[in-house]
Amino acid sequence: MLLLLPLSSNAFSIHDSDLALRQRALRTDFRKFTPTTASILHANVASGGAAAAAAKPEGDGTSTLTASIFNLVKGIVGAGVLSLPAGIAAFGNAPSAIIPASLLITVIGGLSGYCFSLIGRVCSMTGATSYRGGWDEAVGTKSSWLPAISVLLMTVSAVLAYSMILADTGTALLSMVGVAATRTQTLLGITAAILLPLCWLKNLSSLAPFSLLGSLGMLYTTIAMLVRYLQKAYKLPGAKFMVSPEFRPSFGEIGAKGVLSANSFILISMLSTAFMSHFNAAKFKQELQNSTLKRYNTVVGVSFGVSILIFSLIAALGFLTFGGARYVREENAVNQPSIQTRADPFACRHDSFAQ
């Protein structure tokens, strides 16, 4: 009996050490496990096997594949896409400049999509349900405040930017129907009547109709830009919409080679946040119906592919229409009747969105 006690104590020590080793191996090499197996093993290691039955199964979300795609595309594509032609004009003024620009959009969009997929993969393998939770398991709890603060700053900045857009656009639309309202009144009204109820929704699937509406709006904008480009609506002679000389389409000889200049980093800096929606990756993974990694990656692949296409089209059409010219604000064109014969609401203009 006296000999057995030390052996038993040593056995417990070995068992604890083995648990620690298995836990460390699980956190550092997820590739050895399937998503379902990894989640169950993680639960077993963390509680000595007692929590295996409590491991959360995949597939309990309510958002369909189609709804998730619409939501993610709308989460990626926003009003900021209209600034991309200005990014191209920063380094080139010849039509061939769209070639390296489209390549940059595709590469950066692809990398962003891959990183979005990785977040869902980590959450699937660890059972985490949030970005910070995935960081806890994969990196450690001591530094998990880093993604939390990053997400907070990013979302606050996005809310501020879109609040300015909503206030300006909403005020202009109300004035068209004879309603006089200040920017503050318009923003408070939109926030209370529309945005706040949307924030109270329980899951992302309910946002699908609104995401579809927003996506159709971007499609309409793209088609309108295509029509204006094919019409050569701003090109002299015979321009359908006249603007002051400094804002007329202007093309030169700096094409694809212009991307080698330092000015190309203006476009790169725009693209660095253009595909930013990664703070919602865990949410999309959690709320997807039958949320296997394959289905999740389908959502990611299709959504980022569509977004890359939209970005490339809008950037190319806007640049091919105006070239290296500066884009003028809509209100400047409306307030200059001696120069502007008709104000074009579909014109893509640099200064409106690049500031």
Confidence of residue 252 (pLDDT cuts 50, 70, 90): confident
Counting residues of the chain whose pLDDT is more than 70, the rounded percentage is 71
Rounded CA separation 28/260 (Å): 39
Asked if residue 319 lies in contact with residue 99, where contact means CB atoms within 8 angstroms, the answer is: no
Which are the contacts of 277, defined by CB distance < 8 A and separation ≥ 6? 72, 75, 76, 116
Q: What is the pLDDT of residue 349?
A: 42
Q: What is the pLDDT of residue 15?
A: 44
More confident residue, 44 or 319: 319
Confidence of residue 195 (pLDDT cuts 50, 70, 90): confident
Rounded CA separation 90/80 (Å): 16
Please report, as a single letter, which amino acid is at residue 272: S
CA 343 vs CA 242, 301, 332, 335: distances in Å: 8, 39, 9, 9
DSSP label at 263? T
Confidence of residue 42 (pLDDT cuts 50, 70, 90): very low
Instruction: Provide mean pLDDT across the span 176-199.
Output: 90
Asked if residue 318 lies in contact with residue 82, where contact means CB atoms within 8 angstroms, the answer is: yes
Q: What is the pLDDT of residue 266?
A: 93
Residue 236 predicted with pLDDT over 90 = no
Asked if residue 94 lies in contact with residue 105, where contact means CB atoms within 8 angstroms, the answer is: no
More confident residue, 49 or 304: 304
Instruction: Name the average pLDDT for the chain.
Output: 76
Helix, strand, or coil here: 254?
A: coil
Q: How far apart are the first and last CA of the chain?
A: 81
More confident residue, 33 or 151: 151
DSSP label at 200? T
Domain positions in the chain: 60-131+204-353
DSSP label at 345? T
Q: What is the pLDDT of residue 52?
A: 35
Q: What is the pLDDT of residue 273?
A: 85
Tokens in use for 304? 């980022």
Q: What is the pLDDT of residue 17?
A: 47
**What is the dihedral sign for C-alpha 74, 79, 85, 91?**
negative
Q: What is the pLDDT of residue 232?
A: 82
Q: What is the pLDDT of residue 314?
A: 93
Which residue spans within 227-340 are E strands per DSSP?
none
Helix (H) or strand (E) holding 8: helix 4-28
Q: What is the pLDDT of residue 5?
A: 38
Counting residues of the chain whose pLDDT is more than 90, the rounded percentage is 32
pLDDT in tens, 56-71: 445 567 888 988 998 8
Residue 21 predicted with pLDDT over 60 = no
Q: Smallest Cα–Cα separation from 352: which of 73, 316, 334?
A: 334
DSSP label at 205? G
Tokens in use for 203? 């899951």
Q: Which of 154-163, 175-184, 328-337 has the highest mean pLDDT?
A: 175-184
Rounded CA separation 227/204 (Å): 34
Nearest 5 degrees, angle CA 100-CA 106-CA 109? 135
Count the neighbouring beta carbons within 10 Å of the beta carbon of residue 67. Answer: 23
Confidence of residue 321 (pLDDT cuts 50, 70, 90): confident
Residue 253 predicted with pLDDT over 50 = yes
The residue assigned the tokens 């129907």 is: 177
Tokens in use for 7? 């052996």
Instruction: Provide mean pLDDT across the span 278-289.
Output: 89
Rounded CA separation 267/270 (Å): 5
